[in-house]
Structure 1
Amino acid sequence: METSYDYALSLDAADPLREFRDQFVIPLREGREQIYFLGNSLGLQPRKTHGKIKEVLQQWSDWGVEAFFMGEHPWLDFHEKLADPMSMVVGALPHEVVVMNQLTVNLHLMLASFYRPTGKRFRIICEAKAFPSDQYMLETHLKFLGFDPDETIIEVSPRRGEHTIRTEDILQAIKTHESSLALILWGGVQYYTGQVFDMETITKAGHAAGAVVGFDLAHAAGNVPLRLHDWQVDFAAWCNYKYMNGGPGAIGGAFIHERYHGDPSLPRLAGWWGYDASRRFKMEKGFVPDRGAAGWQLSTPSPLQYACLQASLEIFTAAGMPALHEKGRALNDYLIRLLESIVREAGERAIEIITPIKNPEKGCQVSLLMHRKGKETFSALQQAGIFADWREPNVIRVAPVPLYNRFTEVWQFADCLRRML
């Protein structure tokens, strides 16, 4: 029954979040809605986005630069309106979260504050084959400080013949390098395999070793449950154009735990938008940070980017994170069950699911290692109107997301895959 289309229809009918799909613009081809499983790359456009942008443009038209201070929604405090809903997404206190810049810029800023190498403690632990922007960020940041990346960075890899990284191997690396470890910078969700890492355990182990612990949450924010404050994470950064639906090149986000907010000795690279908001326009010499994470801001932000993210955050708030996570797990479980059925029917090693399927916590993404007909299958999915992602050398990534994907779309994807194999 579970592999039937009627069963998928029954799941959609019982879905308490089914009406939220109507709040997004679904891509069309020849008048027919496509199946969009690329929320892990670029989220779909909320229908509210157009109106939010139009409102900012009208403010610009009506008030010019005075729109920062005038009108029903002045731009000056726009970022404060985004802090509450954003903190709900990442499990933080509102003053621990700030919407600013883009992901890699924010990671550089976080390292400027939290990577404080000494003669003995200077090494950084990270995942092997992290997303390239993280690799390049670490490499260039270390070279800028005069360190050799090859001597400084300790990468933890999957074991031979495995695709994902075991938690015990991460903990062993922390223990092995305990005396020389300054920082752990890890991903919340691995972009290639979709593996959700045990961030709470990594943080505890890192702190026990005397290291600072930060996370890149590009594939985690809006996807998996996060409790950054309770986990005592030191810092985190993320983009808002994937699961957060903030638009291409969307403004990013950062988290700094409140225990650091009152530490004047903590260095930072500052800008005027991070200056004390109550005194910012006095234009005085000497940097005085704004309260909380907002004190890490740099330049005057774009209200247009704020507006795009606000449109999505309003939907997240209405849906509620517990309900979104529950449906996300249900979509993932249903997809896995269908894929396991296909693997059994294929009768040979045609597909390998490299995303951990027994993890207690699952994200939206499932990665399929194609042992045969990889490119042919991917092309067939495209022809069938299914948006998926091809990663060299032979992986297809799909990510049914709870806000706008249906169980029947998962069934259609699996049916297309079955017919190809």
Structure 2
Amino acid sequence: MISASKQSPLIRVKNLYKVFGPNDKKVVQQVKDGASKDEILAKTGHTVGLSDINLDIFPGEIFVIMGLSGSGKSTLIRHFNRLIDPTEGVIEIEGTDVMSLNEKELQDFRRHKMSMVFQRFGLMPHRTVLQNVGYGLQVQGVSKSEWQNKAKEWLETVGLSGYESSYPANLSGGQQQRVGLARALCTDAEILLMDEAFSALDPLIRSEMQDQLIELQEKLHKTIVFITHDLDEALRLGDRIAILRDGVLVQQGKPVDILLNPADDYVEAFVKDVNRARALTVETVMKPQVVRISAETIGEAVTQMRKAKDDFAYYIDQQGYQGVITQETLDGVKESEYDNAIDASMLEDVPAVSTDALLETVIPETLDSDHPLPVVDADGQVTGRLSRSTLAEVLSEHSNNEASENGVEVIKKAPSKVT
């Protein structure tokens, strides 16, 4: 995904308020004056759905909106396609104020710009799977042969080839949601709205659907707005996350920012039960790399090591990272051998880990090594280091049974030469 800072928002929400009730225009001023949701309900009988929401969603990202029941997350997503109109505020989609659209323009906008996947599937029971998937194209006036061919392609994409003539009642919950996903994708809409799309599924099927969405997104690069109350799901799927409480946006940012720097007690309560080892990648916690030695001779390596603060370094040649060379090893070489090339036998085999690896997957290697593991990017370049002390620092802030089982307690106790 292209950096958001280099793009214009595809969806922009500015100063958005939603109050439910007959005198919403008057009551919204009380919201602006600082009255709480409970106070307004008690005094006026009106319900505050959203209060001064401001956010930008960029092309090609999965933007997760989460919160507990009643937080306003479903209310917010329904503003994007004007299933709900705001009491006050601006909603722009690709620079167009959706509130300015007339009935015909809004109908076209919903048909071509956005698709929606619902929690309870929303399939039409009297239509076959193929007819459900192709329904959006049918109402657009696409020819029968064209919508059928596209519907078949999307059914194949979501793993449901052969189910074209089946009816929703004959499918499992996971299969029905795959049909719903295929239907949303079939119209080729740029924006996909997913309102608690996987929350009605069994945990295993839910995980499979998350995997499939990630896989599809790598190919399609849709702009996806995903609603959930599950932080694990949000951390797994989201490029960025916004957290709502009582209609107020309390924090938004990248998953790592939410996890490591919760804005308040409410957000902290969300993140306290998350197994950080399963949520954080190496890149999010690694430290700057230690000394790199790229010398061809032992003597050059000795000179470079003397300038280092540490007693070890990562040895790099034209093929990339090769292993760790230590001060102790170099001290054992006679000066008469300084012109010799560095031999593989002088190197310690310390495995490299990738920047995008989950911490959970690299804990064993980290424990087994006397030295911090080198972290390499997609091009094989060393960009940082991961040590036992770094893992202990990050993971011990959040103590849970799973983390302990994965070796956090061992990390705390293990002696090492780490920095």
TM tier relative to shorter chain: under 0.3
More strand by share: 2
User: What is the TM-score with the length of structure 1 in the denominator?
Assistant: 0.25
Q: With CA pairs under 8 Å and 6+ residues apart, which has the higher RCO, 1 or 2?
A: 1
User: What is the TM-score with the length of structure 2 in the denominator?
Assistant: 0.25
Tell me which structure has the larger Cα radius of gyration: 2
